[in-house]
Amino acid sequence: MKKILLYISTILCGLLIIGCGKYGEKDIIKDLSKKIDKTNGYYLNGELQIINNEDSYVYNVEVAYQKEDNFRVSLKNKTNNHEQIILKNNEGVYVMTHKSTQLL
């Protein structure tokens, strides 16, 4: 009896997972596009690695975006903490580099 109940419950779970509707790739893209259009802005952070010949540079990246193409991008080198900020607003695009206090 336990085997029959287990078999029936497995079939029912499988039918629920597989047969609940047709939600394909086009539907996902359509729903995602609607959500993006409704979004006023976003914030993300991550890590960027640049490989140049044998040199490797790793940056912490923070991006804040606001509708109407306003954004702020912060790139901070993990090795020497050098930070550069790219800012775009209604007045223009600005690139800010903090002055290094380290003596050469």
Task: Annotate the chain with DSSP letters as a single string.
Answer: -HHHHHHHHHHHHHHHHHSS----HHHHHHHHHHHHHH--EEEEEEEEEEEETTEEEEEEEEEEEETTTEEEEEEEETTT--EEEEEEETTEEEEEEPPP----
pTM assigned to the model: 0.59
pLDDT digit string (tens) for 40-97?
888 999 999 999 988 899 999 999 998 888 999 999 998 888 899 999 999 999 999 8
| Mean pLDDT of the residues in the chain | 81
Residue 19 has pLDDT above 70, yes or no: no
